[in-house]
């Protein structure tokens, strides 16, 4: 696992990259999947979970932090029960 943490600026950049990616690509068939966004390179990966994405990065020899979000949602994980 990478030891570098994303800063608030990195997260904001990743969110911009993700918004632009969605404008340029139809991701409707990926709803519910995890999307991992590298705020430094702009690369986007998809997987069932963030852990799947981490494994993809490891196979590619990449050890970098990434921002993770669920396709079709503005967050990856919501803590707490339904109200």
Structural domain boundaries in the chain: 12-22+32-70
Measure CA 58 to chain center: 15
Work out the pLDDT band at 3, boundaries 50, 70, 90. Answer: low
What is the per-residue DSSP string for 38-76? -TTT--EEEESSHHHHHHHHHHTT-----EEEETTSS-S
> Cα(61)–Cα(26) distance, rounded to whole angstroms?
28
Tokens representing residue 56 in the block? 């993809």
Q: Which residues of 51-77 are buried (b: 16+ CB within 10 A; e: fewer)?
A: eebbeebeeeeeeebbbbbbbeeeeee
Q: What is the mean pLDDT of the chain?
A: 88
Q: Is the pTM of this model over 0.85?
A: no
pLDDT per position as a tens digit, 16-39 = 999 999 999 999 999 999 999 999
């Amino acid at each position: 696992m990478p030891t570098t943490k994303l800063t608030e600026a990195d997260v904001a950049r990743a969110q911009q990259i993700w918004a632009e990616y969605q404008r340029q690509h139809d991701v409707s068939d990926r709803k519910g999947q995890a999307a991992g966004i590298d705020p430094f390179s702009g690369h986007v990966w998809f997987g069932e979970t963030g852990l799947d994405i981490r494994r993809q990065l490891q196979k590619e020899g990449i050890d970098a932090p990434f921002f993770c979000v669920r396709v079709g949602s503005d967050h990856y994980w919501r803590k707490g029960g339904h109200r």
